[in-house]
Amino acid sequence: MGEAVDSVFHQEIVSLICKAALDPVEWTGVLARLSAEFGGMKSHLVSYDMLSSQATPNFIGGFDPEFARQYFDHYQFTNPWAPKWAQIAVGEFATSREILSQDELESTAFFHEWVRPQENAQAGGGIVLVREPTRAFMLGGNLPLAEVDRSQAAFGTAINLLAPLLRHAIEVNRMLGGYRIDALALRAGVEPDTAAIVVLAADMTVLNCNIAAERLIESGNLLAMGPPGRLRLRTGSAQDKLAACLAGCRAGHPALAAGFAAFAGMQAHSCRIVPIAPDTAQMLSMGLLRRERAVALLMVLPDQVTPNRSGQLATRFGFSQAEAAVALLLHNGLGPAEIAAQRGVSIHTVRNQIKSALSKSDSRRQADLTRLIESLGR
Q: Are residues 276 and 345 in the same domain?
A: no
DSSP string, 38-60: TTT-EEEEEEEETTTTEEEEEEE
Helix (H) or strand (E) holding 272: strand 267-275
Q: Are residues 129 and 93 in the same domain?
A: yes
Last residue of a domain, one of 250, 285, 302: 302
Residue type, 204: M
Q: Are residues 33 and 141 in the same domain?
A: yes
d(CA 85, CA 184): 34
d(CA 100, CA 96): 6
Instruction: Measure the CA dihedral 159/163/169/175, to 10°.
Output: 140
Instruction: For residue 61, tell me if it sits in a domain.
Output: yes
Residues 6+ apart with CB under 8 A from 87: none
CB 47 within 8 A of CB 58: yes
Question: Measured on CA atoms in the order 66, 121, 132, 280, is the torsion positive or negative?
Answer: negative
d(CA 310, CA 93): 57
Return the DSSP state at 205.
Answer: B
The widest CA-to-CA distance across the chain, in whole angstroms, is 80
Q: Are residues 315 and 296 in the same domain?
A: no
Q: Are residues 109 and 219 in the same domain?
A: no
DSSP string, 283-351: GGTTT---S--EEEEEEEEE----HHHHHHHHHHH---HHHHHHHHHHHTT--HHHHHHHHTS-HHHHH
Instruction: For residue 352, tell me if it sits in a domain.
Output: yes
SS3 category, 209: strand
Instruction: For residue 67, tell me if it sits in a domain.
Output: yes
What is the predicted pLDDT for the residue at 193? Answer: 81
**Is 211 exposed, middle or buried (CB count within 10 Å of its CB: 0-12, 13-18, 19+)?**
exposed
- The beta strands (E) that lie in 109-228 are given as 123-131, 135-143, 196-201, 206-209, 223-226
What is the predicted pLDDT for the residue at 118? Answer: 93
What is the predicted pLDDT for the residue at 192? Answer: 82
Q: How far is CA 299 from the centre of its chain?
A: 13
Instruction: For residue 165, tell me if it sits in a domain.
Output: yes
What is the predicted pLDDT for the residue at 305? Answer: 45
Domain count, the chain: 3
Instruction: For residue 311, tell me if it sits in a domain.
Output: yes
Instruction: Measure the CA dihedral 110/112/115/118, to 10°.
Output: -140
Q: Which phi and psi (to 5°) does residue 126 adopt?
A: 180, -170
Q: Residue 227 maps to which CATH number?
A: 3.30.450
CB 272 within 8 A of CB 291: no
CB 77 within 8 A of CB 305: no
Three-state secondary structure of 88-123: CCECCCEEHHHHCCHHHHHCCHHHHHHHCCCCCCCE
Global pTM value: 0.67
Instruction: For residue 182, tell me if it sits in a domain.
Output: no
Instruction: For residue 147, tell me if it sits in a domain.
Output: yes
What is the predicted pLDDT for the residue at 283? Answer: 60
CB 54 within 8 A of CB 203: no
d(CA 334, CA 209): 22
Long-range contacts at 8-17 (CB < 8 A, ≥ 24 apart)? 9/33, 9/37, 9/158, 10/158, 10/161, 13/37, 13/158, 13/162, 14/162, 14/165, 17/162, 17/165, 17/166, 17/169
d(CA 328, CA 301): 12
Q: Which domain holds residue 205?
A: 188-302
SS3 category, 144: coil
Last residue of a domain, one of 249, 273, 302: 302
In the β-sheet with 206-209, what is the strand arrangement from edge to edge?
A: 206-209, 196-201, 294-302, 267-275, 259-264
What is the predicted pLDDT for the residue at 303? Answer: 63
Question: pLDDT digit of tens for each residue in the chain (378 aa)?
Answer: 433 347 889 999 999 999 999 888 899 999 999 999 998 899 999 888 776 667 777 788 999 999 988 988 888 888 999 888 878 889 989 999 999 999 999 999 999 999 999 999 999 999 999 887 777 889 999 999 888 888 999 999 999 999 999 999 998 988 888 888 888 888 877 888 888 999 888 888 888 888 888 888 888 878 888 766 788 887 777 788 888 888 888 777 654 446 777 766 546 678 888 888 776 766 665 544 444 678 888 999 876 544 467 778 888 889 998 898 888 888 777 788 878 877 778 999 999 999 999 999 989 888 888 888 877 755
Instruction: Measure the CA dihedral 12/130/88/46, to 10°.
Output: -70
Q: Are residues 267 and 358 in the same domain?
A: no
d(CA 138, CA 126): 7
Burial 334-349 (b: 16+ CB within 10 A, else e): bbbebbbebeeeeeeb
